[in-house]
Amino acid sequence: MSDHHIQLPEGSIEKQTNTLNLGPTHPATHGVFQNILEMDGERIVSATPTVGYIHRAFEKIAERKPYYQITPLTDRLNYCSAPINNIGWHLTVEKLLGIKTPKRVDYLRVIIMELARITDHLICNSVIGVDSGAFTGFLYVMQYRELVYEIYEEICGSRLTTNIGRVGGFERNFTETAFTKIQKFLDEYPAVLKEFENLFTRNRIFMERTQGVGPITAERALNYGFTGPNLRAAGVDYDVRVASPYSSYEDFEFNIPVGTTGDTYDRFLVRNAEMWQSLSIIQQAMDKLKDLPSDVFHADVPAYYLPDKEDVYTKMEALIYHFKIVMGETDILPGEVYNAVEGANGELGFYLISDGGRSPYRLHFRRPCFIYYQAYPEMVKGAMLSDAIICMSSLNLIAGELDA
Amino acid sequence: MSLTNEHIKNRLVEKFGEALTNFEESYGIMSFHAPKEINLKVMQFLYDEEDLQFRFMTDLCGVHYPDNAGAELGVVYHLHNLVQNVRLRFKVFASVATPQVFTATQLFATANWQERETYDFYGIDFVGHPNLRRILNVDEMDYFPMRKEFPLEDQTRVDKDDEMFGRGGSVGI
């Protein structure tokens, strides 16, 4: 051999894999997740996710806050569907205190929670589209998220971190405008959703990009603690709304859509199907509301529900309750309660230990994202780099909830 | 046949006898305490038995009771029988001096990160865990922030008396 060969550094031929650091601020990672990927060419040999970049110690902060001040903390968990978190927390406190809410409150809550579920799903699904290179669908549905945010704004005054509702019901009654806008949403969104589905579900490119990507079997999904659309895509029809109904979900007729393979495509389809179900639930709730008195929007629990400002100025009891609630003088009962609601991306649980003080002794959020993400290395093993991105978006990971 | 809390309790007592204590039912969920040495045995029993089938781990978290000498650190498991839709809670306790508890990762893959989180917050050392390191906080941290001895507010402050703000005394929690 001649000596014109290039001298390669020691070991460079043997080294088959490269390390790729994806995130924590990569535009395609939907938040601050870091993934250290070991790549063999374009294929993923192993993935090591790192989380905690926006950890804000909510559980610790909650140990210092009166229960009503914990609502804003829950807003910042899954911020794509903040009202579900708020109402889930209120339901937990109500369960502990034994508060029974009027039917109208339940139905109003159902409307809000289902609207939140739709906004969460439409963002997730349209972002799966964006990650596969189709931006159009995202634009189609985005204006309807805007409309839902207007509805929130009409009800509670804020849009993203809603802080919607109070323990016992809502802070104020829904206005006529709110109902008009909800009806507008119900009238207009089906056509948009249909168009969105037409754009994606039978689209050859989209199917190629998502079918068989990031699959998980029902058995593994259960072992990993999956819930929500990600579990249902694998074929298990577990839904908290049906298994242990809360907020009068037992009064509504709806189906639980399930998939078969548990891949990205099925997760997409399950979410789409759920949006149709949610629309039907909202319509049913709107119909039921017509038969109920229109002035009930909270339970009659003066010790826990902030009184009307007018009463605070004129009635002694209202002033006392107002003071006690605002100063956090109201003790909550000692006890332990675990309460779960069907969040937009799975079972959102609140485990609350109260020692009888003004704030929880211990509050633990069972955050579905945190549970899903640990299965990610297994799901993307052997997949392509671009599959890793689309698999991540189809899991509907929200950094705020993951890191709490 | 639907699975009742009574039946679960009987089956557990039959199997483990006096070892399990503090059976109680609050808000529909039965809970009990188990010695930390047999946490896996209890879990495996609940998993395997045909009439129990608690095959879904919903949640795992820690609690700190600083006044409970010798058993300051608690680990709370929430299990779920999805078929019959029955939930169950059980707790094991360890002392701060020997915070060793067996890991549930062999039975439930979901326990992996939740145990890391519990370790991160409370310093509970899950024996046999494949990768027990901090998950939400930085690796360099040398304390366990969710323990009650770490107050949220600056303890050197003199301008604010906690008694005026709900929690008794001037020591923050």
Q: Pick the residue with more confidence: B168 or A161?
A: A161
Contacts of A351 in chain B (CB under 8 A): 59, 61, 76, 78
Over residues B144-149, the mean pLDDT reads 90
Contact A225 B31 (CB under 8 A): no
- Is B137 in the A-facing interface, judged by CB distances under 8 Å? yes
Residue A41 C-alpha, separation from nearest chain B C-alpha, in angstroms: 27
Contacts of B136 in chain A (CB under 8 A): 51-52, 55, 403-404
Contacts of B166 in chain A (CB under 8 A): 66, 327-329, 357-359
Residue B113 C-alpha, separation from nearest chain A C-alpha, in angstroms: 7
pLDDT tens per residue, range A311-353: 999 999 999 999 888 877 777 788 999 999 999 999 999 999 9
Q: What is the 3-state secondary structure (H, E, C) of chain A?
A: CCCCCCCCCCCCCCCCCEEEEECCCCHHHCCCCEEEEEEECCEEEEEEEECCCCCCCHHHHHCCCCHHHHHHHHHCCCHHHHHHHHHHHHHHHHHHHCCCCCHHHHHHHHHHHHHHHHHHHHHHHHHHHHHCCCCHHHHHHHHHHHHHHHHHHHHHCCCCCCCCCECCECCCCCCHHHHHHHHHHHHHHHHHHHHHHHHHCCCHHHHHHHCCCCCCCHHHHHHCCCCHHHHHCCCCCCCHHHHCCCCCHHHCCCCCCCCCCCCHHHHHHHHHHHHHHHHHHHHHHHHHHCCCCCCCCECCCCCCCCCCHHHHHHCHHHHHHHHHHHCCCCCCCCEEEEEEEEECCEEEEEEEEECCCCCCCEEEEECHHHHHHCCHHHHHCCCEHHHHHHHHHHCCCCHHHHHC
Q: Find the angle CA(B50)-CA(B54)-CA(B60) to the nearest 5 degrees.
A: 160
Residue B157 scores a pLDDT above 70: no
Residue A325 C-alpha, separation from nearest chain B C-alpha, in angstroms: 11
Residue B104 scores a pLDDT above 90: yes
Contact A224 B109 (CB under 8 A): yes
Query: Which residue is closest to B149 within chain A, CA to CA?
Result: A60
Contacts of A52 in chain B (CB under 8 A): 134-138
Estimate to the nearest angstrom the gap between the alpha carbon of A155 and the chain centroid. Answer: 20
CA distance A327 to A312: 15
B172 confidence band (pLDDT: 50, 70, 90): very low
Residue B173 scores a pLDDT above 50: no
Amino acid at residue number B21: T
pLDDT tens per residue, range B82-101: 999 999 999 999 999 999 99
- Which B residues 38-77 touch A at CB under 8 Å? 55-59, 61, 63-64, 76
pLDDT tens per residue, range B22-46: 999 988 899 999 999 999 999 999 9
Residue A55 C-alpha, separation from nearest chain B C-alpha, in angstroms: 6
Q: What's the confidence (pLDDT) of residue B165?
A: 61
B158 confidence band (pLDDT: 50, 70, 90): low
- Please name the member of A60, A236, A244 whose beta carbon is closest to the beta carbon of B152: A60
Estimate to the nearest angstrom the gap between the alpha carbon of B60 and the chain centroid. Answer: 6
Contact B113 A375 (CB under 8 A): no
Helix (H) or strand (E) holding B13: helix B5-16
- Is A364 in the B-facing interface, judged by CB distances under 8 Å? yes
Contacts of B172 in chain A (CB under 8 A): 64
Residue B168 scores a pLDDT above 60: no
- Is B121 in the A-facing interface, judged by CB distances under 8 Å? yes
Identify from A36, A67, A338 which residue to disrupt to test chain B contact, counting B C-beta atoms within 10 A and taking the largest count: A338
Residue B19 C-alpha, separation from nearest chain A C-alpha, in angstroms: 22
B171 confidence band (pLDDT: 50, 70, 90): very low
What structural domains does chain B harbor?
5-145 (3.30.460.80)
Q: Number of residue pairs across A and B with CB atoms under 8 Å?
A: 107
B160 confidence band (pLDDT: 50, 70, 90): low
Q: Which residues of chain A have pLDDT under 70?
A: 1-15
B155 confidence band (pLDDT: 50, 70, 90): low
Identify from B113, B122, B134 which residue to disrupt to test chain A contact, counting A C-beta atoms within 10 A and taking the largest count: B113
- Is A344 in the B-facing interface, judged by CB distances under 8 Å? no
- ipTM of this complex prediction, to 2 decimal places: 0.89
The reported pTM is 0.91
Burial of A345 (0-12, 13-18, 19+ CB in 10 A): buried
Contact B109 A374 (CB under 8 A): yes
**Terminal alpha carbon distance of chain B:** 47
Secondary structure (3-state) at B79: strand
Contact A359 B166 (CB under 8 A): yes
CA distance A198 to A178: 30
pLDDT tens per residue, range B53-70: 899 999 999 999 999 988
Contact B76 A351 (CB under 8 A): yes
Q: What's the confidence (pLDDT) of residue A114?
A: 95
Contact B167 A59 (CB under 8 A): no
Q: What's the confidence (pLDDT) of residue A181?
A: 95
